[in-house]
Structure 1
Amino acid sequence: MFANDFDAHYAWRREQAQRLQHLIDVLAARDLLDVGMRSRIERLQRHLLSDKVMVAFVAEFSRGKSELINAVFFAGYGRRIMPASAGRTTMCPTELGYDPELPPCLRLLPIETRLQPQSLMEWRTAPERWKRIDLDVNDAEQLAQAIDTVSEVQWVPVETARALGFWHDERPDDNPPLNDDGLVEVPRWRHAMINMAHPLLKQGLVVLDTPGLNAIGAEPELTMSLLPMAEGVVFVLAADAGVSKSDLAIWREHLAAGAREAGARLVVLNKVDVLWDDLSAPEAVQAQIERQRAETAHVLGLPAEQVIAVSAQKGLLAKVRGDEALLEHSRLLHFERALADKVLLRRRDALGSQLEVLRTEVLQAIGRHEQREAAVRDEQIEELEGLRGKNAAQMTQLRRRIEQEQQEFDAGAMRIQALRSVHMKLLRELFGSLSAQALQTEVAGLSSALHQSGLKLGVRRAYQETFARLHARFAEAQRKADEVQAMLRGAFRNLNAEFGFSLQVPGTLDLSAHAASLREIEVAHADVLSLTNAWRLAQAAYAQRVAKAILERLKRVFDEALEDVETWNKAAAAQVDAQLRERRRHFAQRLETIQRLASASEGLEERLADLRMQQAAHASDMQALRSLVEGLIVPEPAPTPASSAV
């Protein structure tokens, strides 16, 4: 079951975060945790603890989408939680998640906010504009009744429906019917957010339930921000009808571009129980289902294994009644298995890759530290062995030589400030290339084109020119990053030669993943600005929401790139600081040893034996530390097996 697999995924994340905390403590105790390393570990630790996995369910009305959500996530309540009666149910996009800072509640944003320019993201920061209904999570009846509010509608004049995006003069066949008073039915709410301490939601699951084509098309943030954030998107169809005209419009206009991300999309042929026929042989029924799967996969351009036949209603009933045979017949568990495979395994692999990179970096840092410590102790032992038979005057001379070396080192270390100055100059240029101000400058032309009144015939060209400049800016940032690294490589080589350091230039700052995200945004949202959508872009409020949705998604890419630059820079700067501290500590240790020998407070052979013991103990400690780091990543338990084919 998906719930069991998600429990295992959550437990794996927590265990990895605990292991990282132990690693932080162990490295700090050995003075191996510089600012850069601490920053990288804590960043990944926060990611593991707060990671959200969004699964979006998308469908036209009456495809059984809400029933599928009930069956997969809420069967434990013994009844339906999401409204799933005949006809239209979920009338507005609904997010289900958990925020410990809020009580269990349903928050509803009035549909009239569409008449204002603020984006959904901006409205999230204005809680006073949302209607709040407190939820009793221990009372399934009250919970269901409260959540049923998302299906509320209201009747408005055609002019209002047009302004809200539910009436289109250019596409009269898609308009809803008028009632006897000439009014149009529209949703009462624009967006709903359900906060409840459901076990899966507490563990980081976010479920996005989206309504039909009209609502999706009128909210560009859904397809330009929320859906791209989803780890998995489930597109629900009716098994008896296959892919209808409106289904195909949703897929082509809002989901197909994102389907380029392999495995990110699952298609469910729901209500397969309508094909169950006691008068037909089971083989004939199965053959009909397989034909529907194959035809659906062909129409949508997907592999057949991503199309799964399910009866959500029978699956929910089977879970509530504890009917294992009906549950198997409903095929619900096969959908849950596929959902876990496509969503949780992908998420775990992404997090595991980050852990692998961190593990490699930590092992390299341990190796460099071990080499430095071994070299220093070897130098100390050689120095002390040379003192055999020396008198007090000769020891005093050695002490003066060490002090002279220390003074020369301190004087030379001052030159490192010049290195820092050059480094910071180049770094400021790199940060400037990816700053919020730079982003605003590059999108200004597109924003201006989208804010023009009437038809926006030049907006597609402005879009292409904007992304061309953004791609150029990322290319420039990569060049600057390479320039910083080249400067550090030369500077570190000189410092290593002059001071005997073991500085190593951090791995290449690779911004290609962010550049790829930029390309994905460009491709995925190009259709929003196409001529086929010109009639919608002519509406000022819609065009403004498109502009904000594009900017918000681009801002996430730039912010993530800047965070990587910051982490990478800390790794470079921290190495220099750490080795400066180590060298000064070693000077102090050498002087202390000479002082103790000169004052006869410690014998030479005794001190040599102590250094050799320290050397062996340190080598043993480093080996134990490497073993700890090698075992940093633990495999996630295997998913719950499905018992038969989809």
Structure 2
Amino acid sequence: MNGSPRSLAQRLDGLNAWRASLDAALAELVQHLAGQGLLDETASEQLDRLRLRVGGDKLVVAFVAEFSRGKSELINAMFFSDTGRRVLPATPGRTTMCPVEMSYDQGEPAMLSLLPIETRIEGRSLSDLRLRRSIWTHVPLDDLSHEELALTLMEVTRTRAVSVEEARKLGLWSDEPDANDKTSPSPDNPPLREDGLVDVPAWRHALIKYPHPLLAQGLVVLDTPGLNAVGAEPELTLSVIPAAHAVVYILGADTGVTRSDMNVWREHLNEGAMARFVVLNKIDTLNDPLLPVDVVQAQIRKQCANTARTLGVEPDRVFPLSARQALTARLRGDTKGLEASRLPALETMLAKALLPQRGELLAKAVQETVQGVQNHVQRQLTLRRRHNTEQALELRGARGKNATSLRAMRDRVDLEGQRFELCSQRMQALKAIHSRSLKELLDGLAGERVREQVRQMQLGMDASFFHVGARKVFVAMCRELHQLLNQAQVRVDEMQGMLVSSIQMLNTDYGFALAVQQAPDFSRCSRELEMLERSYSQYLGIRSALRLLQPDFMEQFRRMLLAKLRAVFDAARVEVERWSKTATVQIDAQLRERRDTFVRRREALTRIEAEAGELEARLAQLVALEQRLSLAQVRIQPVVNMVLAAAQSMPTRGDDGEFELPTVAAGEFDASWAQVAAE
């Protein structure tokens, strides 16, 4: 690509332009189906859910580092240089004192929301407290200049002086000695001031909702503080950070991997499905006017190789750069300075590793959902056309018939209706059996079952000496929860088998067009449970025995664990309920359609008995309906093809590694759709 290197921000524009065109295509599909009377409850729910995913897809990038590594400066350089100044506080020493989450959804007010540090004493999880807006301190960010915005955001750096006892209650002071020097206090504790107090963060968590173009397009930036805050807030390591699509871990190029850096990596970032990137920041500090440039570069390469080997990552995931140099260059429009900062290399790798993957997942979801909706609609159209054809044949056979023959035809329709009602009773019996099985299945996944397992775990921990057997008890509980998921999977598979055989029988014997939906797969829930097990185990070792004896810590641990486990099982319940609803809704819809058909057939024959001219009028109606249904069946394919083309036209990497804009833009889709509509 000619010109200056494109930032990650510019590359994100391509992905979001594609998402906009994709949403426009889906909106046209919904409009087309609604206009043809084909948007029933099943299709509407699936397409609404898909559009929410396309429009609300988030790309979460977490930045993790010990203090004074230049983390906030890196975020400023990568995402907010267009403001003309620093947005996040980035001054010498420790700046970010609490986790800061930056995002934005269209329509919400620009706001800085701050959660007081005292809420740690309650033991409630962050996910619970997000819903209690009255607890947070809210600072409006509307109509602020960039300078005023930066000044307002300095609030996240605020600290307050408390006693050691209060810091202990907040979980920010540990009585455990230094692992390497038993006579010294824990190095994770905040420094003790001359007056005997310690400085702790004033806030537990900060949410920045700001209509920055990148945030509005679905980017979520998580700025986390160092080891003390990360380790003291288990939800960061158990939920927030693992949920990120990428983690950028920042080290100092002059220090390499320090002991505290290694502790953060080993305890919090060494596992999980997220993509991990390592930054060696401040390479400008290695410049030495007394050394040749090639010697300095060799030192940087050596530091990168040592870092990759120490952390156990691929060398191409370690990026030496200077965030301050990059920010300065972008603010000045200095292309050469930006290249010298080496930031574009990190942005290119992030784009290559994350953006195609996000696009591919969305494209796959669109293709699967739209093709499923198309198959569903085509089955409904085929069924309607068959019923329509049967009525037309029946009425054509009534031409020239006398009253006795017409009554016989009406009696035959009544007999068919009675036979259908017997079928309806069988289907209702099937639904009743399905409902009982569904209730038993959902009971096995209920939150109360999870709560009871956590209660039994806590009783087991309390019974162990100094909680030394806590990990064993915890593992046993996880084994029981895995068993609950396995039992639920077995029951789902049994229910699926019953549905398959019953639906095949109904389709064969009564001419329905019922389809079997794919049964829920709990493997993802099992993987999430395994991840929680690995993450929580680190808090249950011998080193944490003293912390487990603290009632406040144990209560927070229990509440957080219960919240996360319930989220896993609630997700499984949602999948089951969605699967069950899809199956029962189509049964109800086709029963209703068939019953309405019998009513129309009988009414038509009754009117024909009363007035001979009614026969030809009804036949004309059926012919016109057949033409409409036939045309609808033909026209749905081009519309579906347009959506699939939009899904397949996601941004791709060019030969130069850049992220290219989509080949089908929203305007092109509108033009193509106009042609389809005209036909």
Specify if TM > 0.5: yes
What residue number does 1:463 align with?
474
- How far apart are residue 248 of structure 1 and its match? 0.7
Aligned partner of 2:87 among 75, 81, 89? 81
Q: How many residues in Structure 1 have an aligned counterpart in Structure 2?
A: 640
**Unmatched segments (≥5 aa) in structure 2:** 1-6, 179-184, 659-679
**Using a 3 Å threshold, how does the CA distance of structure 1 residues 129 and 392 change in structure 2: closer, same or farther?**
closer
Aligned partner of 1:39 among 42, 45, 55? 45
Q: Is the 8 A contact 1:359 1:630 kept in 2?
A: no
Q: Read off the aligned partner of 1:122 and give its amino acid letter.
A: D
Aligned partner of 1:543 among 548, 554, 558? 554
Q: Is the 8 A contact 2:175 2:186 kept in 1?
A: no
Cα shift readout 1:508-528 (whole Å, capped 9, x = no counterpart):
222222222222222233222
Deviates more, 1:246-255 or 1:49-58: 49-58
Q: For 1:528, what is the secondary structure of its paired residue?
A: coil
Cα shift readout 1:25-47 (whole Å, capped 9, x = no counterpart):
33344443343333222222223
What residue number does 1:217 align with?
231
2:640 is the alignment partner of 1:629: yes
Distance 1:542 1:344 in 2: 39
**Using a 3 Å threshold, how does the CA distance of structure 1 residues 68 and 554 change in structure 2: closer, same or farther?**
same
What residue number does 1:203 align with?
217
Q: Is the 8 A contact 1:451 1:543 kept in 2?
A: no
Q: Is the 8 A contact 1:450 1:547 kept in 2?
A: no
Q: Is the 8 A contact 2:254 2:283 kept in 1?
A: yes
Cα shift readout 1:298-323 (whole Å, capped 9, x = no counterpart):
22122222222221111111111011
Cα shift readout 1:377-425 (whole Å, capped 9, x = no counterpart):
4434544565566555434422332233223323442343222211111
Pairing of 1:149-548 with structure 2 (within 5 A): 149-170=155-176, 171=178, 172=185, 174=187, 175-258=189-272, 261=273, 264-277=275-288, 282-380=293-391, 382-384=393-395, 386-387=397-398, 390-391=401-402, 393-448=404-459, 455-548=466-559
**Using a 3 Å threshold, how does the CA distance of structure 1 residues 590 and 312 change in structure 2: closer, same or farther?**
same
Q: For 1:229, what is the secondary structure of its paired residue?
A: coil
TM-score under structure 1 normalisation?
Answer: 0.91
Deviates more, 1:221-230 or 1:170-179: 170-179
Q: Is the 8 A contact 2:174 2:186 kept in 1?
A: no
**Using a 3 Å threshold, how does the CA distance of structure 1 residues 28 and 433 change in structure 2: closer, same or farther?**
farther
**Using a 3 Å threshold, how does the CA distance of structure 1 residues 122 and 506 change in structure 2: closer, same or farther?**
closer
Deviates more, 1:326-335 or 1:453-462: 453-462
Q: CA RMSD in A?
A: 2.9
- How far apart are residue 291 of structure 1 and its match? 2.8
Distance 1:185 1:397 in 2: 94
Deviates more, 1:300-309 or 1:42-51: 42-51
Deviates more, 1:196-205 or 1:614-623: 614-623
Q: Is the 8 A contact 2:461 2:473 kept in 1?
A: no
**Using a 3 Å threshold, how does the CA distance of structure 1 residues 26 and 597 change in structure 2: closer, same or farther?**
same
Distance 1:453 1:193 in 2: 40
Q: Is the 8 A contact 1:297 1:304 kept in 2?
A: yes
Q: For 2:467, what is the secondary structure of its paired residue?
A: coil
Q: For 1:208, what is the secondary structure of its paired residue?
A: strand
Distance 2:327 2:46 in 1: 44
Q: For 2:516, what is the secondary structure of its paired residue?
A: coil
Distance 1:10 1:386 in 2: 59
Q: Is the 8 A contact 1:34 1:575 kept in 2?
A: no
**Using a 3 Å threshold, how does the CA distance of structure 1 residues 459 and 241 change in structure 2: closer, same or farther?**
same
Distance 1:452 1:39 in 2: 49
Q: For 1:525, what is the secondary structure of its paired residue?
A: helix
Q: Read off the aligned partner of 1:601 and give its amino acid letter.
A: G
Deviates more, 1:340-349 or 1:357-366: 340-349
Distance 1:16 1:448 in 2: 52
Q: Is the 8 A contact 2:36 2:632 kept in 1?
A: no
Distance 1:524 1:16 in 2: 37
Q: Is the 8 A contact 1:104 1:137 kept in 2?
A: no
Q: For 2:161, what is the secondary structure of its paired residue?
A: strand
- How far apart are residue 70 of structure 1 and its match? 0.8
What residue number does 1:59 align with?
65
Q: Read off the aligned partner of 2:481 and give its amino acid letter.
A: L
Q: Read off the aligned partner of 1:563 and give its amino acid letter.
A: V
Q: Is the 8 A contact 1:17 1:48 kept in 2?
A: yes
Distance 1:313 1:301 in 2: 27
- How far apart are residue 592 of structure 1 and its match? 5.5
Deviates more, 1:377-386 or 1:342-351: 377-386
Aligned partner of 2:138 among 132, 144, 157? 132
Q: For 2:42, what is the secondary structure of its paired residue?
A: helix
Q: Is the 8 A contact 2:69 2:251 kept in 1?
A: yes
TM-score under structure 2 normalisation?
Answer: 0.86
**Unmatched segments (≥5 aa) in structure 1:** none
Q: Read off the aligned partner of 2:613 and give its amino acid letter.
A: S
Q: Read off the aligned partner of 2:519 and give its amino acid letter.
A: T
What residue number does 2:674 align with?
none
Q: Is the 8 A contact 2:100 2:208 kept in 1?
A: yes
Distance 2:47 2:142 in 1: 39
Q: For 1:95, what is the secondary structure of its paired residue?
A: strand
Q: Is the 8 A contact 1:106 1:133 kept in 2?
A: yes
Q: Read off the aligned partner of 1:163 and give its amino acid letter.
A: K
